[in-house]
Structure formats: structure tokens, C-alpha cells
Structure 1
Amino acid sequence: MNKELLNFYKNSSLGIAVYKRIDEYKFEFVYYNKAGQEMDGVVGINYNGKLIDEVFPNIKNFGLLDLLEEVYHTGATKELPLSGYTVNNHLKLYRKNRVQKLEDDLVVSVYSDESKTQEYINRIEKENHILNKALDYTSHDLRGNLSTSLGVLELFETIEVQPDEKEYLLHVMKENLEKIDNNIHRLVRMLYKAISDKEENLSA
């Protein structure tokens, strides 16, 4: 690697790792810039001569090894779409990788940290899931109360109802209509809050 290229790697805000192919699916670190070490949580690691799976034991499931091998053989620059690397049960790192072959047996991976973006997407999906469940529950209540009220009206149309029974059924209808009104207001508040939260997140 020439001096200009190394300077670019050193000063880049992207993660950059250069590997040398030792054997099939065996790549050892040749260079690992500071930005990459910070992204990956391994600042100051002694990476020289270490295989990639020694530093990152779960790398095979991440898909990068397959891509490194492919680029090494074909010489074509390839990209690994957004993928998650599992550090442990509580931590997952999300990366986008672009892999390119250099001279001899060297392959470089240039990547960006997409963990915050993925975290935001996960949070939105979780909020949407909770909102959808609440909407389903509320709409189920609405349909139930509406069906009861319609049933009472249909009863009035088909048979003659005694005054005391009529008074009771009208009371049931009134209660159901009040519940429908409350549920509609609750539904509107939920939707308004969901829209406001999303707009706030997008502007943050």
C-alpha cells in the first residue's frame, strides 16, 4: 500500500480494514484504522497478524468472510448490504461494507456504522407494533358496541317492546354510544401522539 492510500485510510471517518488472504476463508489483519477500531469497540487492539475470526468470532454469520473470498477471486468490488454482527446477547452492531481487492493478496473493507439508524428503525417498528395492537383492541371495542346498538334498533323494528324493556334497552344503547364516543376520542389521541412522536424523531 502506498503512502497516500495509508494517509487516506488513517484520516477517514469510515471504518477501514485491510486483510491479507492466507488460505481459503482465512484473512489476517494488515491494517485497521482508528475509526474502525472505535466503531467496533476494540480501540488499541493488537491486530497485526491476527485472523479476522480471532478478533470477531461471529464474523462467519455476518457474511463478510464470504464476500472477502468472492472479491479476492473475482477482483470485482462488491457491497455487503446492511447487516448485523452479534457481539453478544445484548449487543449487535450494524454495518454496511464495501469490499475491494488491492494488489497481491490484499483485500480492503470500507464500512460505516449504521447501528443508530437500525436502532431507530427497530424503535419505530416496535412503536408501530404497540400502536397497531392498541388500534386493533380499540376498533374491536367499537365494533362490539356498535353491533349491540344496531341490534337494539333492529329489535325495536321487528317486535313490540314493552315500555320497561324499552327503557332498559335505550339505557344500554346510551351506554354503548358513550363508549363509542370515548373510544373514538381515545383513538384520535393515540393517532395524534403517534404522528407527533414520529415528526419529533424525524426532526431530531
Structure 2
Amino acid sequence: MTNKSFNKKQQFFDIWASRYDLIFTSVFYQAIHKRLLEYVQLPDYPNILDLGCGTGKLLDRLATHFPQLSGTGLDFSAEMLSQARQNNRHHPRLIYLQGDVEALPFVDGQFDAVFNTLSFIHYPNPEKVFSEVSRVLQPGGKFYLVDPIIKIKADTQQVPFSPGGIKFYSPEIRENFGRQAGLSCEGHYYLLGWILLTIFSCPKLTPLGLTH
């Protein structure tokens, strides 16, 4: 993401941060997060990453549901992160960092699972995001992608909602993003209305170091 695009998006969400939970997550986001938990499978003592974590509501729910979980929330909005840190009931198990989803500040294979809920539509270069997710996932790790899907003739539609617009992707395009990044699609699941969960997995290593 270019610095200009990054700054415009950041300013857009900084302005909303103090009212974000009141507007969006009181009922709708909580319902989506609750349904998402029905599909989440994590190993013992998982280390997870939440991309576009916003005010930290999903990480808070995951940390409550999985008491052995450690998690990192990443967002480009300093004000969103400020809200998340103020409401962090699970410190030091949960931490929040500012960063760019197209250049993740983490080492290869650092996480057992990556979550991205209701923010992928804002990313201008989705292929780069998938590539970075694949890089930071452990072999056998999972990527949980939750975003709205709109059934239209074209596979992609751009809407001028925020700086740079937002884009909607069909299940087929999601799968293609995954294939290009070396991730396998395990399935698509509707959580609430037109909100679709797609689960990807990172290939496991064989004893010879090969993937399968």
C-alpha cells in the first residue's frame, strides 16, 4: 500500500474510532463473531494474528473462549488501536500493533492462525495480503477470512465507501487468491446473511520437509 493511500485510509478510520463500537459492533459484529467461533479450530496454546483488528472485539472474544491463547492485533489506525488497548482485558496475552497488512512485521511461520473479519474489502492489493498471510502462517495453520459477498454479474465490484473504495470478491476469486499464495481452501460458510467465512489452510510439512 502506498504511503498516500495508507495515510488516507488511516485518517478515515481514526476519525471513526471513538464511535466505531457504538455504530457497528453492538449487535451485528457480535453475532458474526459468535457464529465464527463455531468454525474455529486451534491447537493447544495457539499464537494467532488478527488483521484489521479495529477496537479488538474479536481478539477479546477469542481470548475469552480460548484461555491458553496468545494473540496480536494489527491495524493501521492509531486511534482504533488506542481503543483496543484501553479495553484490553487479556494483557499481556493480547497485544496490539500498528502496521500494514501488505508488509507484515512478523517472521515466517509465526502464527497458528490468522483472522481477518470485515476489513479485507478495504485492501487495495489483496494478492499481497494473501501472500503475507501465507508467509506468517505455520505449516498446517489456518486463515479465517470473513467479509460480505454481493451476488452480482461481475466477480468484483468497487464501491466508493472509503478512500480507495471497497471491493467485494466472489468465493471463486477468494479461492484463486489462496491458490496463488499456496493456501488450500477448506470451504465457504455463511455466518449471517451475506457475510461469508472462507477457511484456508497452509500445507503441512512431511518428514522430508515437503508440503502436502
Say which structure is richer in helix: 1
TM-score, length-normalised on structure 2?
0.27
| Structure with the greater alpha carbon radius of gyration | 1
Say which structure is richer in strand: 2
TM-score, length-normalised on structure 1?
0.28
Higher relative contact order (CA 8 A, sep 6+): 2
